[in-house]
Amino acid sequence: MVDRYTVFIMVLGLCVVNGIFTPYFKVAIPITVVLMPELFPRTLEWVLFWTSVMLSSATLLFSGIPAALYERLVENEPESTASMWIWLTGAGLLSLPALQRVL
Protein backbone atom coordinates (compact mmCIF):
# COMPACT_ATOMS: atom_id res chain seq x y z
CA MET A 1 0.00 0.00 0.00
CA VAL A 2 1.22 3.48 -0.83
CA ASP A 3 1.63 5.86 2.10
CA ARG A 4 0.38 9.46 2.33
CA TYR A 5 3.73 11.04 1.56
CA THR A 6 4.23 9.13 -1.68
CA VAL A 7 0.79 10.16 -2.93
CA PHE A 8 1.56 13.77 -1.96
CA ILE A 9 4.77 13.66 -4.04
CA MET A 10 2.68 12.39 -6.97
CA VAL A 11 0.25 15.30 -6.46
CA LEU A 12 3.13 17.79 -6.46
CA GLY A 13 4.60 16.28 -9.62
CA LEU A 14 1.26 16.44 -11.39
CA CYS A 15 0.81 20.08 -10.36
CA VAL A 16 4.26 20.97 -11.68
CA VAL A 17 3.50 19.27 -15.00
CA ASN A 18 0.26 21.24 -15.19
CA GLY A 19 2.08 24.49 -14.43
CA ILE A 20 4.57 23.94 -17.22
CA PHE A 21 2.39 22.50 -20.00
CA THR A 22 -1.02 24.07 -19.38
CA PRO A 23 -2.84 25.59 -22.36
CA TYR A 24 -3.95 28.47 -20.11
CA PHE A 25 -0.43 29.87 -20.00
CA LYS A 26 -1.28 32.83 -22.25
CA VAL A 27 -4.22 33.77 -20.03
CA ALA A 28 -2.10 33.69 -16.87
CA ILE A 29 0.82 35.79 -18.15
CA PRO A 30 -0.92 39.21 -17.74
CA ILE A 31 -2.05 38.23 -14.25
CA THR A 32 1.48 37.21 -13.35
CA VAL A 33 2.94 40.49 -14.56
CA VAL A 34 0.63 42.35 -12.18
CA LEU A 35 1.21 40.01 -9.23
CA MET A 36 4.94 39.44 -9.74
CA PRO A 37 7.15 40.55 -6.85
CA GLU A 38 9.14 43.73 -7.42
CA LEU A 39 12.37 42.01 -6.41
CA PHE A 40 12.64 40.38 -9.82
CA PRO A 41 13.14 42.14 -13.15
CA ARG A 42 10.23 41.98 -15.57
CA THR A 43 12.10 40.02 -18.19
CA LEU A 44 10.51 37.29 -20.26
CA GLU A 45 12.31 34.52 -18.37
CA TRP A 46 11.12 35.70 -14.96
CA VAL A 47 7.55 36.23 -16.16
CA LEU A 48 7.40 32.73 -17.61
CA PHE A 49 8.91 31.26 -14.44
CA TRP A 50 6.43 33.00 -12.14
CA THR A 51 3.53 32.12 -14.45
CA SER A 52 4.44 28.46 -14.15
CA VAL A 53 4.77 28.76 -10.36
CA MET A 54 1.41 30.52 -10.11
CA LEU A 55 -0.39 27.91 -12.21
CA SER A 56 1.22 25.05 -10.28
CA SER A 57 0.22 26.61 -6.98
CA ALA A 58 -3.32 27.22 -8.17
CA THR A 59 -3.63 23.59 -9.24
CA LEU A 60 -2.33 22.43 -5.87
CA LEU A 61 -4.75 24.70 -4.02
CA PHE A 62 -7.90 24.02 -6.02
CA SER A 63 -7.36 20.28 -6.27
CA GLY A 64 -6.96 20.08 -2.50
CA ILE A 65 -10.38 21.55 -1.71
CA PRO A 66 -12.40 18.32 -2.23
CA ALA A 67 -9.79 16.34 -0.29
CA ALA A 68 -9.91 18.79 2.61
CA LEU A 69 -13.70 18.67 2.70
CA TYR A 70 -13.65 14.87 2.67
CA GLU A 71 -11.04 14.75 5.42
CA ARG A 72 -12.97 17.22 7.55
CA LEU A 73 -16.46 15.77 7.09
CA VAL A 74 -15.99 12.02 6.60
CA GLU A 75 -12.59 10.67 7.50
CA ASN A 76 -11.65 10.12 11.15
CA GLU A 77 -8.43 8.13 10.79
CA PRO A 78 -5.26 10.28 10.61
CA GLU A 79 -3.24 7.65 8.71
CA SER A 80 -5.80 6.99 5.98
CA THR A 81 -4.80 7.74 2.40
CA ALA A 82 -8.30 8.26 0.98
CA SER A 83 -8.11 12.05 1.11
CA MET A 84 -4.73 11.99 -0.63
CA TRP A 85 -6.14 9.87 -3.45
CA ILE A 86 -9.00 12.37 -3.77
CA TRP A 87 -6.40 15.14 -3.96
CA LEU A 88 -4.49 13.25 -6.67
CA THR A 89 -7.73 12.71 -8.60
CA GLY A 90 -8.57 16.42 -8.39
CA ALA A 91 -5.11 17.38 -9.58
CA GLY A 92 -5.40 14.87 -12.40
CA LEU A 93 -8.73 16.30 -13.52
CA LEU A 94 -7.37 19.84 -13.45
CA SER A 95 -4.28 18.70 -15.35
CA LEU A 96 -6.11 16.89 -18.16
CA PRO A 97 -5.62 19.71 -20.71
CA ALA A 98 -1.90 19.84 -19.90
CA LEU A 99 -1.55 16.07 -20.05
CA GLN A 100 -3.20 16.05 -23.48
CA ARG A 101 -0.55 18.49 -24.68
CA VAL A 102 2.25 16.36 -23.22
CA LEU A 103 0.99 13.06 -24.59
Segments making up each domain of the chain, as ranges: 4-102
Q: What is the DSSP letter of 65?
A: H
Mean pLDDT score across all residues of the chain: 92
Average pLDDT value for residue range 82-90? 95
Q: Which DSSP string corresponds to 26-47? A: HHHHHHHHHHS-TTS---HHHH
Identity of the residue numbered 54: M
* pTM recorded for the entire structure: 0.88
Average pLDDT value for residue range 39-49? 89
| Distance, first Cα to last Cα, the chain | 28
